[in-house]
Amino acid sequence: MITSSGQTLSIILCTLQVVVALVLLISFKSNKNVNIFLLILVSFGALKSFYTGFIQDESEAYLNNSFYWMRRLTFFVIPCGYLYLKTLVTVERKISSKDLIHSIYPIGWALMVFLQAIYVFVPEDTWFQVRKVNIVAYVLFYAIITSLLTKDFYKNRHQDAEKTLHFNQVNSWAFFFFIFFILISVRALIHFYFDIAFGLSEIASSSIKLVLWLLILIKVLATPEILFGYQKLKKSLADDPELKLDNRIIKLNDDYFLKNQRVEDYFKEKTLECLLILLNNNNEFILISDLDDLFLSKYNVSLPTLKKRRDLCLKDIKYELSVLLAVPSETIFIESKEEQDKRIKKIKINPELIKMT
């Protein structure tokens, strides 16, 4: 049974979710961070919080026999977390017909529960366990495929300049939403598997849900890219002459800066070491093979593996600088070949991208 404290938390949560939904709806057309799946998630969250806060308690909400439409809708809403992240990281605003496959299982399950409520063709004790296992397996399935989707998003972020640009635009929000989705899933699994419906445990569970949604609200309100959309924000910044930045790498004393931050804030480990070698030798070509030593390890690696690591590092630098400096990726490096042996390649960073002070 939901306590008065639990009902109060649900009402507060409902208010926050309505605010989030309205803010996102305002920027729906112009904002690539907002699509129908996100609006469904937030709207359903607000509806469920309103229901549990104002209408009735949530005791055994997912495990009793009555055909409760709110519980059935939850099985349609859970895939929306995965589908939202999928459309966010792949820049697909329109709903694909393939996405409808995610509605097959919820429809089948709702039909099964409806028939069970009427005909009781499975013994009650067995059906109770079946429903419990089903909820856990269903939530775990979407948590896993969402994790794999996020992994691929980070793995393929530098395949080309367009993907690098998109990655930099949505990376922060995509990662934040992924963490939110996983934490909400874990809380739901614990809440329903252990049947937390009253006492301090119920208050703690509801409080965790409130905190997670509060973090989402703060993230949305504190991030202009989510509120207004990246393109609209970019245009506003471009129209303000006081905010225009010198799109070059600035060398000050022995340090290099990008957009008023040290290059160390953007690049790490071997990628940073490689970039610094190129920056420190910006007036002359260096042999690409001279960079190989950076990628040697204590383990024996083949020459093709070594070259692959080096080329991947240069590729990361090229696309990352292309985005940060807002210049075409093909202008980042200048490449040349030895006069006597065309197989020997040389490289340097474009001097026009560096400003000495």
Q: Describe the strand order of the beta sheet including 261-262 as a list of residue ranges.
A: 261-262, 255-258, 249-252, 354-356
pLDDT at residue 148, as a whole number = 93
**Axis-axis angle for helices 104-119, 124-155 (nearest 10):** 170
pLDDT at residue 168, as a whole number = 67
- Per CATH, the number for 4-235 is 1.20.1070
Residues comprising the chain, all counted: 357
Q: Describe the strand order of the beta sheet including 333-337 as a list of residue ranges.
A: 286-287, 345-349, 333-337
Strand partners, 256: 251
Q: Quote the tokens at residue 212.
A: 């997670």
pLDDT at residue 179, as a whole number = 92
Q: Quote the tokens at residue 103.
A: 């509605």
Domain ranges of the chain: 4-235, 245-356
DSSP β-ladder status, 286-287 and 261-262: unpaired
pLDDT at residue 240, as a whole number = 45
Q: What CA–CA distance (Å, rounded) separates 74 from 77?
A: 5
pLDDT at residue 92, as a whole number = 56
pLDDT at residue 258, as a whole number = 81
Reported as type and span, the H/E element at residue 34 is: none
Confirm if 33 and 225 have CB atoms less than 8 A apart: yes
Averaged pLDDT, groups of 10, the chain, 357 residues long:
63 81 76 81 84 60 50 82 88 72 89 85 86 87 93 76 67 87 84 61 72 77 62 48 58 80 83 86 82 70 79 85 78 79 81 78
Phi, psi of 250 (to 5 degrees): -100, 125
Q: In this structure, what DSSP letter does residue 247 have?
A: -
Q: In this structure, what DSSP letter does residue 353 have?
A: G
- CA distances for 265 relative to 125, 270, 291, 328, 337, angstroms: 57, 14, 22, 22, 32
Q: Quick one: CATH architecture of 245-356?
A: Orthogonal Bundle (1.10)
DSSP β-ladder status, 249-252 and 354-356: parallel
Strand partners, 348: 334
Count Cβ atoms below 10 Å from residue 59 Cβ, excluding itself: 14
4-235 and 245-356 have identical folds? no
| Residue 96 burial (10 A CB sphere; 0-12, 13-18, 19+) | exposed
Nearest partner of 206 among 48, 20, 350, judged by Cα: 48
Q: What CA–CA distance (Å, rounded) separates 295 from 142?
A: 37
pLDDT at residue 38, as a whole number = 85
Q: Quote the tokens at residue 251.
A: 């060398």
pTM of the model: 0.64
Q: What CA–CA distance (Å, rounded) separates 166 from 118?
A: 51
| Residue 97 burial (10 A CB sphere; 0-12, 13-18, 19+) | exposed
